[in-house]
A and B are shown apart, each in its own frame.
Chain A
């Protein structure tokens, strides 16, 4: 099976001492919806521009649908891109904006000239097929009534649809989108998320979608590539990234509220201890280093079972989120707030007040262990009821 998009060892730096992309490898299947997420400035847009051919990489290869395109011009790559600012041509009508990619690819340079072009043979015929294609796409995105307007006369959401229409009209095999929803208000953003997912199902093309909103990435993608400082930390399905993060920074990036981290040590026997006490039943083959133990807020419980890691803590703050609560608790002797997610049902008949003492616990099976280089460490777990007393 050929890949929809294949990147091999892409490097890019604008200033020699400050690389923006460092050896990016990515294999995206045909028809897959892949999100590139990462914090601001990590190189997402640069990577997208290199895929589009708008920027030349310093090294590495790009292949689209099994065709090497590293040195091809943007227009020869058969891709479409939706920009963050939508980048509509301001002086053209919506219809002309959508028609432009087709006019450019189907009419010869001379036939596009302002006056001379009208004389070109066959131009009328080509124009009428283009007009039909434009109307078809406009109907799909429900922007038919807007065709006669200029971009300045449209709302943000309408501009976004026009930009999508302009991308769709040429039926590319690869869609690149650079934060297309970031200029919309929260409600419209959620709505467009659904529409984009539908669109992806309908056209069946490969999508590469840049966002720094992890919720967008988690809800829309088949797979997510999480970038940091020009490198890909992990590439996997949303559930892989959530339940088996390959890197501490992936664990911290994905999930709201974010994951809880506790300092841990590993002794020469490979026994893991957290906050100075051994964690029951957790052993690793890599020994003798500082490490971090990370636990999702929903994996922390307010009642301890025998094999759990247990802390005494003080409840500092309660946030109501409708059906659930986020509790912020300070473990005794530590300057850190632990985030705990509990459902409303679990708290029924157990009223909580800020400042009260809590027992918080998690089981070793729910904890992720990361080494001093932030990489995920393999652990073996066995059931051994050891109780970690609160200090």
Chain B
């Protein structure tokens, strides 16, 4: 018996796309509004029109003002320094730790791994006060180092990499030992490259999280010159430009742009990394 496709069959993909479109619209609306506001004139800002072309293009003025009033580029540079600093140390620590947990037999390995999993459940806020007091004690407040320190050890990275490394074939590692690789060479030259999707997925997570982090920089930094983007924006609002929404949104657009661009470039790796760790 032949089965005829139901007349609704063609609608299902349409329907799912419709749902996705509505969802996307909700998520993208604030961004759209932000960009729109950044090119509108002050008189037009409070009009509730979605029409993308402003009556009067005010972009030059808004962006000029944003760059003139606060050191936007400085904020971005701070963001880059902090994010990269955190990411590099995170990888330097987490990759060997995960390799040891996945492949090296040593006493207490299971206990250590249990601690890693347990540490996943400790929110950063719990540690904020002791960390702050420690940094204050050593006169390290208002430094890049203070902004990076709490994130150097990422148990999430250790956990994620350990799960990925676990599936690396033991016989290749044994062959490498016979060939004379040192353990560190096995870790960095054989095992880590094979886990590149997971590592890049983690890198995106880490960069996004710390580029957007306001909580910790606000606690340890009060100097405008050291502020990363979100804290810079906060200084911006508090300062003279507090009511100049056009300039404020122009600043916000500039500070968000790098992440959006980076995500568009790394999209494929990002998705691959997440689905892969899901399967294994």
Interface residues of A (CB under 8 A from B): 49, 52, 54, 73-75, 79-81, 83-85, 87-91, 100-101, 104-105, 109, 112
Contact = CB atoms under 8 A, between A and B. Distances in A.
Contacts of B175: 81, 83, 87, 89
A104 B179 contact: yes
Interface in B175-196: 175-182, 185, 190, 193-194
16 contacts: A49-B174, A54-B174, A75-B178, A75-B180, A80-B178, A83-B174, A85-B169, A87-B175, A89-B172, A90-B172, A90-B194, A91-B190, A91-B194, A100-B179, A101-B180, A112-B185
B171 interface: yes
Nearest to A107: B180
B169 A54 contact: no
A49 B178 CA distance: 10
Contacts of B171: 83-85, 87
Given A87-B171, A89-B172, A90-B194, A74 B182 contact: no
Given A54-B178, A104-B180, 13 more contacts: A74-B174, A74-B178, A75-B177, A75-B178, A81-B174, A87-B169, A91-B190, A100-B179, A101-B179, A104-B179, A104-B181, A109-B182, A112-B185
B138 to A, nearest CB: 34
Nearest to B172: A87
Contacts of A104: 179-181
Majority-rule SS of B interface residues: helix
A100 B178 CA distance: 11
Contacts, number: 50
Interface residues on B, range: 10 to 19
Contacts of A88: 172
A91 B193 CA distance: 9
Nearest to A105: B180
A49 B170 CA distance: 12
Interface of B: 169, 171-172, 174-182, 185, 190, 193-194
B182 A81 contact: no
Contacts of B178: 52, 54, 74-75, 79-81, 101
A74 B177 contact: yes
A54 B177 contact: yes
A202 to B, nearest CB: 22
B181 to A, nearest CB: 6
A81 B171 CA distance: 10
Nearest to B176: A89
Name the 5 nearest CB pairs between A and B, nearest first.
A104-B180, A75-B180, A87-B171, A87-B175, A83-B171
A87 B178 CA distance: 12
Contacts of A83: 171, 174-175
A286 B89 CA distance: 74
A109 B184 CA distance: 11
Contacts of A112: 185
Nearest to A101: B179
Contacts of B172: 87-90
Considering residues A49, A79, A104, A109, which has the most beta carbons from chain B within 10 angstroms of its beta carbon? A104
Contacts of B182: 109
A49 B181 CA distance: 17
Contact of A87 (B174, B180, B193, B194): B174
A73 B180 CA distance: 9
Contacts of A54: 174, 177-178
Nearest to B196: A91
Contacts of A52: 174, 178
Contacts of A91: 190, 193-194
A330 to B, nearest CB: 46
Nearest to A52: B178
B95 to A, nearest CB: 16
B245 to A, nearest CB: 49
Considering residues B169, B177, B194, which has the most beta carbons from chain A within 10 angstroms of its beta carbon? B177
Contacts of A74: 174, 177-178
Contacts of B179: 75, 100-101, 104
B43 to A, nearest CB: 58
A85 B169 CA distance: 9
B165 to A, nearest CB: 14
A331 to B, nearest CB: 48
Considering residues B171, B185, B193, which has the most beta carbons from chain A within 10 angstroms of its beta carbon? B171
Nearest to B174: A54
B223 to A, nearest CB: 37
A105 B178 CA distance: 10
A338 B80 CA distance: 81
A36 to B, nearest CB: 17
A118 to B, nearest CB: 16
A74 B181 CA distance: 10
Nearest to A76: B180
Nearest to A79: B178
Contacts of A101: 178-180
A84 B175 CA distance: 11
Nearest to A80: B178
A89 B190 CA distance: 8
B103 to A, nearest CB: 12
A87 B177 CA distance: 12
A27 B161 CA distance: 44
Contacts of B193: 91
Contacts of B177: 54, 73-75
A79 B180 CA distance: 11
A89 B175 CA distance: 9
Contacts of B185: 112
A101 B190 CA distance: 14
A91 B185 CA distance: 14
A68 B178 CA distance: 17
A89 B193 CA distance: 11
A347 to B, nearest CB: 49
B197 to A, nearest CB: 14
Contacts of B181: 104
B106 to A, nearest CB: 13
B217 to A, nearest CB: 34
